[in-house]
Amino acid sequence: ARAMALGEKYFGSCKDVENALCINLGWGIGLGIIVNHQVYSGNHGFAGEFGHIVIDENGPLCHCGKRGCLEIMASGNAISKKAKKALQEGQESMVMKMVHGDIDSVDTKLIVQAAKEGDLFSIEILEEIGNYIGKALAVLINIFSPEMIVIGGSVSLGGKFLLTPIQTSARRMAYTPLVKDLKIVNSKLDHFAGALGATTLITRDIFETQHLDLSPYI
């Protein structure tokens, strides 16, 4: 997620933004924080565990040992689990035709595809996920007051079906003056942001650090 933030800062939507949050929505959920044009790492480099904000104390058990973390409720993994459970319970959806009845092959990418084709079941799942993410984002907005929030990662390919409920929920739950000029947008870099950020980290260190030991890069 921090590599993604660096990629967005140098190549994406955050080029001219001083303070921003970059959300990486994939199998898990990560956060890259840009403060005063710099990517913030925090103590021991662990800043950005956005996915482990608890949003439902009675929710399912997360791999971190707590219940109801955002990651267990709204990650790519959560989307596929929610979809499979509902389909097993008899929920009607074009997804069943797309997988020829094989529920085990249902994944997040398929739900996103079905939503774009107008499948109400898939659209509702993405809306539910977006509401969870927006609710958690409101906490970050109140703390950091960013100029921009960039949504990236494989799950963000859900486009407006995910972005709109994120925007609505975040603006509804956050302190009103802090969202007046806030932009919440999808990444323009798709899944390349992290790779671009990692490359930038290496080249920046090489050219900006005078006494760097170059042997690890040769």
* Digitized pLDDT (tens) for each residue of the chain, 218 residues in all: 778 888 888 887 888 899 999 998 888 888 989 999 888 887 776 777 888 888 888 888 888 888 989 999 988 889 999 999 999 999 999 999 999 999 999 999 999 999 999 999 999 999 999 999 999 999 999 999 999 999 988 888 888 999 999 999 999 999 999 999 999 999 888 766 666 666 766 666 655 544 445 345 44
Per-residue model confidence (pLDDT) at position 42: 79
Instruction: Report pLDDT for 214.
Output: 39
Give 33's strand partners: 21, 40
* Phi, psi for 122 (deg, rounded to 5): -70, -40
Query: 121 CB contacts (<8 Å, ≥6 apart)?
Result: 83, 86, 91, 92, 93, 94, 95, 114
- Burial class of 59 by CB neighbour count within 10 A (0 to 12, 13 to 18, 19+): middle
Q: What is the pTM of this model?
A: 0.83
Report how far apart, in Å, the C-alpha atoms of 207 and of each of 3, 65, 162 are: 18, 42, 39
Give the helix ranges, DSSP H, for 60-209: 70-74, 76-88, 95-98, 108-116, 120-144, 160-173, 176-179, 193-208
CA 6 to chain centre: 15
Write down the mean pLDDT value for the chain: 86
How many CA atoms lie within 13 Å of 13's alpha carbon, on the beta-carbon side?
Answer: 20
